[in-house]
Structure 1
Amino acid sequence: MLSFEEVISRLRFKRVRTAVVADIRRQVIMDVGKRAEAGLQQNYQYKIIRIMRPDDANIMGNVHGGIILKMIEEAGCIVSTRHCNTQDGDRCLALLVRVEKTEFLSPVFIGEVVHITAEITYTSKHSLEVQVIVMAENILTGGKKLASKAALWYVPCSLQNVNKIMEVPSIQYVSAEQKEEGRKRYEAQKIERMETKARVEEVMPPLPNSEPHTVGFSQSSLIHLVGPLDCILHDYVHGGVTMKLMDEVAGIVAARHCNTNIVTASVDAINFHRKIKKGCVVTVTGRLTFVSNRSMELEVLVDAASLVEKEMKKYRAVSAFFTFISLDKDNKPLPVPPLKIKGEEEQRRFEEGNARYLQAKAKRLADNRQ
């Protein structure tokens, strides 16, 4: 899969751009077409269509990645909840537990119409996978582009007892191979989710008067009281709301480091470790971990504590890594200022980020050869 940086650079060459877009759309059509031929598509699919407004974008007209993430999660939640309530027993609500790495392939602008298609692609006994495709349409020219693709995992919780995990109705697969590939993805995400949950790290406050282009200089936090508008049924926070807050904080950190227009390029797996309930105060903290010549990796951590239940101590609710790039006035990538490392902990996080960067780069090169 192409990164946002690679897509932008290819926009300079019309012929290459046309070929790339055609290949991507052809693959999307093939994947959806297989299910349509089997007569399964409509049973497991849901669509959202909405025009992008000025309040969805930054001052440069780029739609916030958090807005796209929120819409992706809304579509995923709806199709998952509908499917899980097709069986007898307690009514249930599908809650988000993980979002796989999400690439923002093309920027979305004010006035464009976003088409979000969410489809259930795998079910286990207690969870289900939803694949989401985001297309952006220019309604003046009729042109469409693939803006993003994502994979989300949900678990159905009973409305009678939110701690009770319900069984998921199985879906029909086009082939045995498709089911086996889904099982492999399920096993992989389950292992990674447990490994991430085991890594609990306190967020240290930045030093006063931090030097520019250091971690402490750009580190930012947002404190938010969870109210009724943030919640779905059973007074628990909507996953899309949390992701939008995370993207906002990450954007502030990236902008402080570059002092330019920045956009979300990708999001590594977002892990939802524990539920957040109405009345909690959430602290969303973002900090730089790694910087390459053209991109920035930021770790975003969400901690929660109840405002009314004093016995409930502060806990880690969500964690993820965001990647941003810096753009000029023509939306072309700019070099990113180097990150000045202070101390062993920052050096450790930088090396870990570099390893993730090299791994992602190798994967993109391997995908391009296929």
Structure 2
Amino acid sequence: MEKKPCSNSRTVKTAQILPPDANAYGTLFGGKLMAHIDDVAAISAVRHARKSVVTASTDSVDFLQPVKVGDSICVEGFVTAVHNTSMEVFVKVVKEGLLTAEKTVCATAFLTFVALGENGKPDIVPRIYPETEQEKVLFEGASRRRERRNERRKESQKMAKMFGSE
């Protein structure tokens, strides 16, 4: 399988924040922003794998600045690392005050997706290679993030077993 550059998976989505998207303080609901993030990340993963994907984890979503009604958000993501059947995707969100033209990174996130073959089972995906300095930094930190993700997953499995379904 031929390696692909990170840039092949780059996905960008822009949306304006309207009153139904906001809470009582006039700022974007965190869950709405997370839906935009998951959407962009999933498209990035599909673009890389050219297969169906499922979200395996959301490692982090860091809300750095509030987004107000009337602002726009630009959600950008790309695959930063690959491990057999899974892909790590980095997403950044830039808010823009449409009347002021002021732009600020308001959120960042890392998500993991698993590619599925036609049989619905995890399937191998092509490796990636970084080209820009930013891509290289993210690529080089991926194994450390993967270790933390696996440790957190083990903790989650313990909690699920301890608390059960009843």
TM-score by length of 2: 0.85
Task: Read off the aligned partner of 2:96 and give its amino acid letter.
Answer: A
1:316 is matched with which residue: 80, 88, 105? 105
Is the Cα–Cα contact under 8 Å of residues 288 and 299 in structure 1 kept in the other structure? yes
Which of 1 and 2 has greater Rg?
Answer: 1
1:348 paired to 2:137: yes
Paired position in structure 2 for 1:325:
114
1:224 paired to 2:9: no
Gaps of 5+ in 1: 1-210
1:307 paired to 2:73: no
Paired position in structure 1 for 2:46:
255
Measure the CA separation in 2 of the matches of 1:215 and 1:333. Answer: 21
Distance 1:368 1:273, change over 3 A: closer
Q: Deviations over 1:292-327 (max 9, x none)?
A: 11211111111101112x1x6201111110100101
Measure the CA separation in 2 of the matches of 1:243 and 1:225. Answer: 15
Distance 1:280 1:367, change over 3 A: closer
Is the Cα–Cα contact under 8 Å of residues 267 and 320 in structure 1 kept in the other structure? yes
Distance 1:368 1:275, change over 3 A: closer
2:147 is matched with which residue: 354, 358, 362? 358
- 1:216 deviation in Å? 1.1
Measure the CA separation in 1 of the matches of 2:91 and 2:117. Answer: 25
More strand by proportion, 1 or 2?
2
DSSP-derived class of the 1:301 partner: strand
Is the Cα–Cα contact under 8 Å of residues 51 and 115 in structure 2 kept in the other structure? yes
DSSP-derived class of the 1:321 partner: strand
Measure the CA separation in 2 of the matches of 1:337 and 1:356. Answer: 20
Is the Cα–Cα contact under 8 Å of residues 3 and 126 in structure 2 kept in the other structure? no
DSSP-derived class of the 1:233 partner: coil
Is the Cα–Cα contact under 8 Å of residues 3 and 127 in structure 2 kept in the other structure? no
Q: Deviations over 1:1-48 (max 9, x none)?
A: xxxxxxxxxxxxxxxxxxxxxxxxxxxxxxxxxxxxxxxxxxxxxxxx
Is the Cα–Cα contact under 8 Å of residues 246 and 300 in structure 1 kept in the other structure? yes
Matches within 5 A, 1:1-370: 213-308=4-99, 310=100, 313-362=102-151, 364=153
Identity %: 31
Count of residues in correspondence between the two structures: 158
Q: Deviations over 1:183-216 (max 9, x none)?
A: xxxxxxxxxxxxxxxxxxxxxxxxxxxx982111
Greater relative contact order structure (CA < 8 Å, 6+ sep):
2
Paired position in structure 1 for 2:164:
none
- 1:360 deviation in Å? 2.7
- 1:233 deviation in Å? 1.6
Measure the CA separation in 2 of the matches of 1:350 and 1:227. Answer: 35
TM-score by length of 1: 0.40
- 1:344 deviation in Å? 4.2
Measure the CA separation in 2 of the matches of 1:247 and 1:365. Answer: 23
Distance 1:338 1:212, change over 3 A: closer
Measure the CA separation in 1 of the matches of 2:14 and 2:32. Answer: 14
Measure the CA separation in 1 of the matches of 2:152 and 2:29. Answer: 32
Distance 1:230 1:367, change over 3 A: closer
Gaps of 5+ in 2: 162-166
- 1:358 deviation in Å? 2.7
Is the Cα–Cα contact under 8 Å of residues 226 and 237 in structure 1 kept in the other structure? yes
Is the Cα–Cα contact under 8 Å of residues 222 and 283 in structure 1 kept in the other structure? yes
- 1:329 deviation in Å? 2.8
Measure the CA separation in 2 of the matches of 1:367 and 1:270. Answer: 17
Which 4+ runs in 1 deviate beyond 4 A? 362-370
Pairwise CA RMSD: 2.3
